[in-house]
Amino acid sequence: MTSTPAIAQHEVAQIRQTVAMLQPGSMASMRREEVLRLVAEVQRLQNDLTHLTSGLRTLLAKTA
Name the band, by pLDDT with cuts 50, 70 and 90, for residue 6.
low
Spatial separation of the C-alpha atoms in residues 39 and 12, rounded to whole Å: 7
* CB neighbours of residue 14 within 10 Å: 13
State the pLDDT at residue 5.
54
**Single pTM value for the model:** 0.60
Phi–psi pair at 31, nearest 5 degrees? -70, 145
Cβ neighbours of residue 16 under 8 Å, at least 6 residues apart? 36, 39, 40, 43
Residue whose C-alpha is closest to residue 39's, from 13, 57, 62, 8: 13
SS3 assignment, position 27: strand
